[in-house]
Amino acid sequence: MEEVIAKYYVMSRLPLETAAKRIAEEESTGTWTHVSTTTKSIEKKYSARVGEVDRESHTVEIIYPYADFDLKVGGIPSVLSIIAGNLFGLGSLEAVRLLDVTFPKDFVQQFDGPNFGIEGIRKMIGTSKDKRPHVGTIIKPKIGLSPKQTAEVAYEAAMGGVDFIKDDETLVSQSFCAMEKRVNAVIGKLDEVKDETRRNVLYACNVTSTDVIKTAEKALKAGANCLMIDVLTAGYNSLQLLSENFRKVPLHVHRTMHAAIDRSKDFGVDFVVLAKLIRLAGGDQVHIGSVVGKMEGDREDVLAVEEAVEKPLIKEHAGHLASNWYGIKPVFAVCSGGLHPGLVPELMKLLGKDITIQAGGGIHGHPFGTRAGAKAMRQAVDATMHNIPLREYAADHVELAKALEKWH
């Protein structure tokens, strides 16, 4: 199958097949009228065609020839210009949403995917054997702390037991917290944690910027052991450039702005599609939602994203297309947004153990402070790993007890 298949939800005053044909034409060889410059041979080679049409679910499949894509020069931006391009503006469509996409072998093999993936990151953290969920934190407040204050918070969180620390998506290198000074200070403190505990803690520095290569070089020179990017505001090309140029550090992918693209049920792109492109472009960790936290996201939708980023093969199911990753590594799924220790058992029941459970407010908001907040999160994970109810475990774990008292 040397074709890219994209599945869309479509509502139109036109018959569904005709509406689908309009999409296929607009995104391949056609336009609103016949043009004399389009030859039969061009049409034969490059025209997208309509595949399965399901009137009940109002979904259509558009089959794009592989030859329509230029992955070497155009890359993922040009893929999006085709499968998620002009079609959203077609006046004849009252609703149109890109639900899923599946790529052929040659297409997938043009990408390297994650450099580390789940196993690579587990190795760095030291959880390859017990395979427990990782506990992460976002330094809070989002903005305003100095490099020294940021490093203090990072130290407390790491001493409390987090595996992973990250900048918030809005922090880059503002005057109050210049990036190189921040990285230097945080890594200095994490080295102290390593000396004291023998534990390796990752710190993802946000390098979302006009020139990600230069910014990442500076961050790495200052000692960064992980990089972070806001993929949708920076662009997929920035993610891929980071992944291909800096193979020795993992890449944490934040998806800020995704809801502007995926939240409406009528227009936009399902996050499954965006997440598949993040896997191709080389993200090692990606936010997938949490179902139980503060951000909107249905159980089925979050599960479909987890499957898309972590599984080697995906069977066709519940409206989703089958996919084969042809050996591209899995991405570590990150659950974030309004999480706290009390939500850990439900989260692990829903999404399993190959997740990073990330909390900002749910750690730094602990009544005894950041270190206790981190301990409480780790205690919640340990209890759940041993099938012990949190209330029972809290009887002799004071940090967890206090967290459960505050957030229930």
Residue 372 CA to residue 314 CA, distance in Å, equals: 40
252 binding ligand CAP? (CB under 6 A)? no
Residue 339: contacted member of Mg ion, ligand CAP, none (CB under 5 to 8 Å, by partner type): ligand CAP
Residue 58 CA to residue 95 CA, distance in Å, equals: 10
Residues known to be catalytic: 140, 254
Q: Dig out the tokens for 207 from the structure.
A: 């390098």
168 binding ligand CAP? (CB under 6 A)? yes
Element (H, E) at 332: strand 332-336
Q: Dig out the tokens for 116 from the structure.
A: 């580390």
Residue 303 CA to residue 319 CA, distance in Å, equals: 13
Least Å from the CB of residue 157 to ligand CAP: 12
230 binding ligand CAP? (CB under 6 A)? no
Name residues whose C-beta falls within 8 Å of residue 73's C-beta, 6 or more positions apart in sequence: none
Residue 301 CA to residue 216 CA, distance in Å, equals: 32
Q: Dig out the tokens for 124 from the structure.
A: 């760095």
Residue 265: contacted member of ligand CAP, Mg ion, none (CB under 5 to 8 Å, by partner type): none
Scanning 20-28, 99-107, 114-122, 286-294 for contacts with ligand CAP by CB under 6 A, the matching segment is 286-294
Our CB check for ligand CAP shows the closer of 220 and 295 to be 295
231 binding ligand CAP? (CB under 6 A)? no
Exactly one of 279, 287, 366, 371 binds ligand CAP (CB under 6 A); which one?
A: 287
Expressed in angstroms, the distance from the first to the final Cα of the chain is: 51
360 binding ligand CAP? (CB under 6 A)? yes
Residue 282: contacted member of Mg ion, ligand CAP, none (CB under 5 to 8 Å, by partner type): none
The full DSSP string for 136-163 is: EEE-SSSS---HHHHHHHHHHHHHHT-S
Residue 30: contacted member of ligand CAP, Mg ion, none (CB under 5 to 8 Å, by partner type): none
Q: Which residues pair with 50 in a beta bridge?
A: 62
304 binding ligand CAP? (CB under 6 A)? no
Least Å from the CB of residue 321 to ligand CAP: 23
Residue 384: contacted member of ligand CAP, Mg ion, none (CB under 5 to 8 Å, by partner type): none
268 binding ligand CAP? (CB under 6 A)? no
226-230 and 251-254: which strand pairing?
parallel
Contacting residues toward ligand CAP, per CB under 6 A: 138, 140, 168-169, 255, 287, 289, 294-295, 336-339, 359-362
